[in-house]
Amino acid sequence: MNPSLPAQHTKSLQLYWILQAAGWGFYTLSRIIGAATILRLPWGKSALELAIFGGVGLAISHWLRGFVWRHQWTALSIPKLAARIVVAGFIVGIPLGILTQISDVSALQDPGPELQEYGPALSTGMTVTIQTLLQIANWAVLYMIWLAIYFVAVGLREHRTVRLKQSELARALHLAELRLLKSQLNPHFLFNALNTVRSLIADDPSRAQSAVTRLANTLRYSLSSRQDELVTFAQELDIVTDYLELESMRFEDRLRIERDVPADAASVSIPVMLLQTLVENAIKHGIAELPSGGLLRISAVLENEMLNVEIENPRPPAPSLVSGEGVGLRNARDRLRLLFGTRATLDLDLSKPAVATVRLRIPQQR
């Protein structure tokens, strides 16, 4: 998990409360000044009533914020969202409008002077009804404006978050590319592969040609990986097969390979070079350090639209796996988080004394 996310959430929450307090505080203060200077209402009583209404207004707006998030209003289309904003405004405006009408500060929205021109045509009851409706409308419009401003702010924040995430992803992929090139094109791998080819040229020319072809495929895939973020599991497994064939020529009987990959898992998208990196770690930090070698097992299963991959290999009693996590597993976890979010996981299981197991979970993309 990105450690900056809690700090960003805290900062966003602090800004929300600052804006809430500033907005409702300014609205309440302006009404208090109007009540005291224009209507000449008692300062203390009107200030208390308006402060209470301001506090209630803030509390309701905060409740509305939680309500719209729980019901995922941010995912609605603009027409549906606008309709809900209007309905919500009147739902909260009705009780507040009635309460305001029976208070002394109702005179701030008193339409009495305008209604007097109609003379006896309007009864006292009708006048009170119109005044109440105007109070309700005032609160309803106020909350409609609040919700509109809130959703605009949320939209701008989400737009900024998406841009930051894209930027972070681009930087992480660039860094991953450099690390992968360093890992795949390191002199040790090339030296070992070329030595294997050289030893086969005289004894088994056809096998030497096959080794050169597989080496070319591996290098070409490594160099072209900078153009892609995702490939199918089948594509990644093909290049892993070439890599393992080269390593089999070097380790001979010390490296045994077992695969269990069903056909339905082949089309699932995974980060490019991810499986290759995990398999190389298994050989480098496990089988290569054992005089007798061992069995490298790759298995996969697709369940509930989730690809589950396991890579299991023997390991020495005091493995150097920890030193390999910095470049391999940590980088893989970062890429999974950026590409798939929290649904994708990568875990290293060292609970068995002589076996290391990497478990990979990736959601199936539609």
Q: Could you tell me if 111 and 134 are in contact, meaning their C-beta atoms sit under 8 angstroms apart? A: yes
Q: Is the Cβ–Cβ distance between 316 and 355 less than 8 Å?
A: no
Residue type, 357: T
Would you list the DSSP string of 282-336? HHHHTGGGSTT-EEEEEEEEEETTEEEEEEEEE--SS--HHHHHTTTHHHHHHHH
For residue 176, name the pLDDT band (cuts at 50, 70, 90).
low
Residue 256 has pLDDT above 80, yes or no: yes
Q: Is the pLDDT of residue 180 over 60?
A: no
Question: Model-level pTM greater than 0.85?
Answer: no
What's the confidence (pLDDT) of residue 160?
A: 83
Each residue's pLDDT tens digit, 282-308: 888 888 889 888 999 999 999 988 999
Inter-residue contact 343 to 301 (CB < 8 Å): no
154 and 296 in a common domain: no
Q: Please report whether residue 140 resides in a domain.
A: yes
Q: Say whether both 13 and 146 belong to one domain.
A: yes
Angle between helices 124-184 and 329-340 (to 10 degrees): 150
Assigned domain for 176 exists: no
Q: Is residue 207 located within the same domain as residue 346?
A: yes
Domain region containing 230 = 185-363
Same-domain check for residues 138 and 53: yes
**DSSP of 3-28, one letter per residue?**
THHHHHHHHHHHHHHHHHHHHHHHHH
Specify the number of domains making up the chain: 2
Enumerate the β-bridge partners of residue 355: 314
Choosing from 109, 133, 167, the residue where a domain stops is 167
In a domain, 180, yes or no: no
Whether residue 216 is found in the same domain as residue 339 = yes
Same domain, yes or no: 152 and 198 = no
Nearest to 184 by CA among 214, 213, 223: 223
Residues 192 and 338 in one domain: yes
Q: Are residues 277 and 335 in the same domain?
A: yes
179 within a domain of the structure (yes/no):
no
**pLDDT(117) > 70:** no
Range from 56-70, 95-109, 324-338 that averages highest in pLDDT: 56-70
**Given this model, what pLDDT does residue 108 score?**
58
Mean of per-residue pLDDT scores for the chain: 79
Residue 347 and residue 244 share a domain: yes
Query: Kindly report the CA angle at 163 between 6 and 67, in degrees rounded to 5?
Result: 55
* 99 within a domain of the structure (yes/no): yes
| Choice among 221-230, 240-249, 302-311, 343-352 with the minimum mean pLDDT | 221-230
Same domain, 134 and 90: yes
Residue 177 located in a structural domain: no
Neighbours of 297 (CB within 10 A): 18
Percentage of the chain lying above the pLDDT 70 cut: 80
Q: Where are the alpha helices (DSSP H) in 204-313?
A: 205-224, 233-251, 274-285
Give pLDDT tens digits for 44-53. 777 888 888 8
d(CA 122, CA 207): 104
The full length of the chain comes to: 366
Q: What is the model's pLDDT at position 272? A: 83
- Tokens 């500033």 found at: 22
Q: CB-based burial of residue 179 (10 Å sphere; 0-12 exposed, 13-18 middle, 19+ buried)?
A: middle
In sequence order, the 6+-apart residues with CB closer than 8 A to the CB of 14 are none
- Angle, helix 124-184 to helix 78-101, in steps of 10 degrees: 140
Boundary-marking domain end, from 167, 195, 220: 167
